[in-house]
């Protein structure tokens, strides 16, 4: 039965990825055309084809439709896709290396740590690496936070559920306190910028942010997928993985650095967007199984789809106002986290 079930799940993988890809394309067309200036999906496709040098399809018929698409909508949609893919992949990898379905950059405090690094750069006015300085600050702080969480939550060679969750509570509390202190020390513009981090938003999306975050995502996804087989072996247990030739500690350290890179890409220009990396990989795993060759790309595509759809809802649910994206994802992800927490406890037979 196990073999048959595994075969069925493995067969679902390509179908799931194809379905998610179609859904992603559909939500991109809808999100790019929706706003105060309405543009039809055919006109969105026509505009893209004309930019590629193909005289096919209609151009936006409304005034300023082209500029609305290429200066406002497309940067926002592309950045949302990058952020969602980074969070989805980072969540899947963290769950793999911690061996825990509750691991996620936002839940265990990594996003808060990275946001502190970004806020510190904003307040101090550092510009050592130009446009990359904020992302670099987020990366360093995220890396330190991830290693701290890893070391604190380990006990007797394993990562415990309760310890991991409580570590996240503590890290988020410390991160919130540090951000509050930085807001106290900052001027009015700094306070506004840090408030943006706490709420999470894509309102400041632009092509510069896209070109900075895209390489981070490409490197992270490529490295994670290249190590997908090792992550599968790690799921068998540390001893089994070592007997099969996996250097467990080296793999964990490499993946921690990679998730810090993806986390930095996610928060550097949008602030804290929670629960995407928790919910998406878990749902993918329920459908297609735990194999990382399917889980990683599907989580990336699913995360991109979710963040684009959430951002579309955030800017259209209330007329002429924009809801904070991080608040919206937390409102949906919070109940999902409680359900997953209860499900994990029931399966484990207690808080062992």
Which pLDDT score is estimated for 132? 75
Name the nearest CA neighbour of 206 among 64, 79, 28, 87.
79
Q: For residue 278, which of 24, 29, 108 has the smallest C-alpha distance? A: 108
At residue 175's C-alpha, the angle toward residues 86 and 336, to 5°, is 55
For the chain, the domain total comes to: 1
- Token pair for residue 21? 């890809």
Determine the pLDDT at residue 48.
Answer: 92
In angstroms, rounded to a whole number, what is the distance separating the alpha carbons of residues 240 and 65? 58
User: Strand, helix or coil at 326?
Assistant: helix
From first to last of its 352 residues, what are the pLDDT tens digits of the chain? 445 555 556 667 889 999 999 999 999 999 999 988 889 999 999 999 988 888 888 888 887 788 889 999 999 999 999 999 999 999 999 888 877 777 788 777 888 888 898 889 888 888 887 777 877 888 888 888 888 888 887 777 666 667 777 888 898 899 889 988 998 988 888 888 778 767 888 988 889 889 988 998 999 999 999 999 999 998 888 888 888 888 888 888 888 888 888 887 788 788 888 889 888 998 898 888 889 999 999 999 999 999 999 999 999 888 878 888 888 888 887 787 788 777 766 665 444 4
pLDDT of residue 227: 93
* Domain hosting residue 158, numbered range: 2-348
Mapped onto helix, strand or coil, the DSSP state of residue 154 is strand
For residue 79, the model assigns a pLDDT of 95
pLDDT of residue 352: 41
* pTM of structure: 0.86
What is the predicted pLDDT for the residue at 350?
45
Confidence at residue 216, expressed as pLDDT on a 0 to 100 scale: 87
- CA triplet 254, 258, 261: central angle to 5 degrees? 145
Task: State which H helix or E strand residue 155 sits in.
Answer: strand 154-155
DSSP string, 207-250: HHHHHHHHHHHHHHHHHHHHTHHHHHHHTT-HHHHHHTT--HHH
The per-residue pLDDT for 231 is 92
CATH of the domain at 104: 1.10.3470.10
Cβ neighbours for 49, distance < 8 A, ≥ 6 positions apart? 55, 56, 57
């Amino acid at each position: 039965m196990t073999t048959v079930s595994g075969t069925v799940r493995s067969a679902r993988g390509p179908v799931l990825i194809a379905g998610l890809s179609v859904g992603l394309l559909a939500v991109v067309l809808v999100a790019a055309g929706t706003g105060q200036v309405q543009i039809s999906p055919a006109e969105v496709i026509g505009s893209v084809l004309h930019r590629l040098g193909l005289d096919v399809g209609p151009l936006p018929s409304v005034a300023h439709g082209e500029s609305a698409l290429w200066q406002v909508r497309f940067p926002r949609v592309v950045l949302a896709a990058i952020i969602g893919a980074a969070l989805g992949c980072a969540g899947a990898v963290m769950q793999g290396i911690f061996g825990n379905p509750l691991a996620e950059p936002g839940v265990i405090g990594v996003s808060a740590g990275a946001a502190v690094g970004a806020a510190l750069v904003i307040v101090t006015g550092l510009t050592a690496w130009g446009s990359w300085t904020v992302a670099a600050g987020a990366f360093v702080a995220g890396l330190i936070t991830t290693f701290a969480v890893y070391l604190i939550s380990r006990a007797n060679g394993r990562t415990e559920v309760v310890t991991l969750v409580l570590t996240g509570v503590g890290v988020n509390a410390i991160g919130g306190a540090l951000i509050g202190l930085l807001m106290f020390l900052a001027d009015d513009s700094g306070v506004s910028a840090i408030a943006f981090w706490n709420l999470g938003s894509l309102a400041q999306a632009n092509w510069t942010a896209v070109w900075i975050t895209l390489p981070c995502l490409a490197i992270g996804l490529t490295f994670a997928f290249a190590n997908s087989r090792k992550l599968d072996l790690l799921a068998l247990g540390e001893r089994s993985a070592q007997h099969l030739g996996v250097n467990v500690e080296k793999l964990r350290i490499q993946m921690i650095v990679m998730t810090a890179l993806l986390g930095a890409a996610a928060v550097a220009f949008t602030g804290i967007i929670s629960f995407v990396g928790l919910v998406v990989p878990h749902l993918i795993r329920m459908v297609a199984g735990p194999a990382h060759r399917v889980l990683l790309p599907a989580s990336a595509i699913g995360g991109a789809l979710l963040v684009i759809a959430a951002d579309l809802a955030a800017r259209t649910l209330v007329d002429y106002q924009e809801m904070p994206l991080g608040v919206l994802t937390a409102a949906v992800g919070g109940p999902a986290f409680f359900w997953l927490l209860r499900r994990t406890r029931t399966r484990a037979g207690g808080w062992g």
